Structure 1
Amino acid sequence: MRIIKPCTYTVLSLALASVTQMTMAQDAHHSMPMSAQHESHSSHDSLYQEMQTGIESSQIEHAEHAEHAEHAEHAEHAEHANASSIASRAASAQHPIDHKREHGGQIYQATEIDNQWLNNADGRGSLKTEIESRIGTDENKLFIKLHADKAESQDADYAAQVMYSRMISDFWDAQIGARYRVDEHQVTDKEQLDAAVGLHGLAPYFFETDAYLYFGTDNQVSFSLETERDLLLTQKLILKPYLNLDVVLSDDSAYAQKTGLSSVWLGLETRYEINKKLMPFIDVAYSYEKGNQHTARQAETGSEKQWWYGVGLRLKF
């Protein structure tokens, strides 16, 4: 107790002195004239304004520096882009790029085989086989067509056609080539070779069309037209109306056909696409045959009209 009391007196005396000094300072401030107080506040305001001005000038200086840096960066990027463009043009000039594969220049191949068995109202049957193969680009193609027709209890007739095809518009190709045909019904001149020119393409309303003019020996000139269109009932069940006709313009051969409309096949095919490579179908058609002229080798024959019906199988690959 004797040690604690002197310390307590010392702490109390120091606290009393500090309170006294604070009271005197407040009294002095209140007793200060208004002018002095105003000058004091003015000095504080001036100091604050100077600080604000310094901060604003610093911000402006920083913004100008950032703007200069941005302009310099854009200029550097533009210079780099120009240099890259010049370099790429120079490289293209030295090593030109071939874009044919991306714009229809690729080579493709497609083959279609039709096997069809038909019967008429008299029960006489006929087996028809057609093969069409094409290879080439969108602009230049080679068409190969093979046809075989064998009536019941008779020899088969054959025809082979090779055509060069050149695209002349978005939907049409001009074709030129040759046709080789064999007719076993004739005693002489069984084999014939004809020059052929024509068009292959898509007619209005999406009719796929082949139209050809044939020029052979003995003043044989004829025209053939094949046109067809797919009508989708579903994605797999498809109707295909078709028209095949032949017109004889002139014929001075030993087995001449009558001039004019020589034959017509008008039919409706219904096929089911198991997939894009295998497609069975049924077919109903009406045919007209005008007949042959009277010559030293043959007697004149009349026209024939009859209905045909049958089944078939189409393969694509």
Structure 2
Amino acid sequence: MKTPFSPPPHRLSAALWLILSVTAPAWAQHEGHAPVPAKDKVDYATMDHSRHGASGQEDGIDHAAMGHGDAHAASSDAPREPIPPVTQDDLAAAFPAVDHHAMQHASAVNYKATFNRLETWDGDHGTGQAWEGIAWIGTDTDRLWLRSEGERAGGRTESADVEVLYGRSVSPWWDVVAGIKHDFKPGDARSWAAFGVQGMAPYRFEIEATVYVGESGQVAANVEAEYTLRITNRLILQPLVEADFSTRDEPEHGTGSGLNKVEAGLRLRYEITRRFAPYVGVVHERSFGDTADYRRAEGERIRDTRVVAGVRLWF
């Protein structure tokens, strides 16, 4: 066997030379290779790699001939489990034919009825009741509106009216309305042609502005604005301002030209459910101009402040 050690110098005995030969490192004797001398070790840091080409041959070594390229191509081109081709049955199962006639769609026609105010009071000048309701039926763009409001005091009806209007949506927040209004009180019953707009202004103010043209050419207008302030998820404060205008004096109906009346209210309601909400509030009403003069002549007050209690409901 060939050993990595030279024959011992004359000063070492033959036994010592034999021990060193037997105990030589195993790696030096692996497959008969001798250890690389330190002077023959390769310093890769000083090697010139600039001659490495894209052909796979570096310093005379043909890596392509070593078989690595074929193994890589085989691993990338051939999947472990080949995917079967998509058949017509697979497409039919993934995209079945839809029978639109058998589908159930939500109705395009909806409706809602709301009593915004259904209230009563007990003041210094007697008891009274008031109501204001609104209902609609139709689609998102075309609706039939029904509005009514009135007031009773001292056991008699002081005002009552009903409006039937067609509304057309002109924007996501506004409707244009047109129709008729019929007054039952005050005075003799009469009808009006009605034109107006209703919707939500910036900062969530709900606005109703309507102009009425009477049979004799009388023109009146009503503007109402309210705001919903949600204190909690169920406790809601709702301020409201309403103003009436006329272009002619009508003593028989107790109204004068110009600004007739302004009503301001503040109501606090608690929604037991979304459909049922009792409330309490305070309302102040004042008449102006010739309307105030007509009320004085009838012995009525031109100013009135009252505490009200009622319920708001919708269905």
How far off its partner does 1:64 sit?
A: 8.0
| Distance in 2 (alpha carbons) for counterparts of 1:156 and 1:302 | 12
User: Corresponding residue for 2:26?
Assistant: none
What is the aligned counterpart of 2:74 among 62, 68, 79?
Answer: 62
What is the aligned counterpart of 1:124 among 126, 138, 143?
Answer: 126
Show structure 1 runs of 5+ residues with no match: 1-48
How far off its partner does 1:304 sit?
A: 0.4
Q: Give the residue type in structure 1 aligned to 2:277.
A: M
| Distance in 1 (alpha carbons) for counterparts of 2:159 and 2:253 | 15
Q: How does 1:135-154 map to 2 (within 5 A)?
A: 135-154=137-156
Q: How does 1:107-256 map to 2 (within 5 A)?
A: 107-113=109-115, 114-120=117-123, 122-155=124-157, 157-183=159-185, 185-186=186-187, 190-251=188-249, 254-255=252-253
**TM-score normalised per structure 1:** 0.64
The structure in which a higher percent of residues are helix is 1
Q: 1:204 to 1:64 in 2, by over 3 A?
A: closer
Q: 1:61 to 1:128 in 2, by over 3 A?
A: closer
Q: How does 1:65-76 map to 2 (within 5 A)?
A: 66=78
Secondary structure, aligned partner of 2:74: helix
Matched, 1:266 2:261: no
How far off its partner does 1:153 sit?
A: 3.1
Report if the CA contact (8 A) 1:292-1:301 is conserved.
no
Report if the CA contact (8 A) 1:220-1:252 is conserved.
no
Q: 1:119 to 1:225 in 2, by over 3 A?
A: farther
Show structure 2 runs of 5+ residues with no match: 1-60
**1:157-181 CA-partner distances (Å, limit 9, x unpaired):** 3211111111111211111111111
Q: 1:267 to 1:62 in 2, by over 3 A?
A: same
Q: 1:242 to 1:117 in 2, by over 3 A?
A: same
How far off its partner does 1:118 sit?
A: 2.5
| Distance in 1 (alpha carbons) for counterparts of 2:271 and 2:73 | 77
How far off its partner does 1:106 sit?
A: 3.2
User: Corresponding residue for 1:289?
Assistant: 287
**TM-score normalised per structure 2:** 0.65
How far off its partner does 1:117 sit?
A: 0.6
Which stretch has the larger CA shift, 249-258 or 173-182? 249-258
How far off its partner does 1:221 sit?
A: 0.5
How far off its partner does 1:302 sit?
A: 8.4
**1:193-228 CA-partner distances (Å, limit 9, x unpaired):** 111111111112211111100111222111101111
Q: Give the residue type in structure 1 aligned to 2:71.
A: Q
| Distance in 2 (alpha carbons) for counterparts of 1:308 and 1:61 | 92
**1:105-155 CA-partner distances (Å, limit 9, x unpaired):** 8332211123211244x3322211222111222211221112232111324
* CA RMSD after TM alignment: 4.0
| Distance in 2 (alpha carbons) for counterparts of 1:278 and 1:169 | 30
Report if the CA contact (8 A) 1:220-1:251 is conserved.
no
| Distance in 2 (alpha carbons) for counterparts of 1:301 and 1:123 | 12
Report if the CA contact (8 A) 2:135-2:146 is conserved.
yes
Identity score, percent: 25
How far off its partner does 1:260 sit?
A: 0.9
How far off its partner does 1:58 sit?
A: 4.4
| Distance in 1 (alpha carbons) for counterparts of 2:298 and 2:126 | 22
How far off its partner does 1:293 sit?
A: 9.2
Q: How many residues align?
A: 246
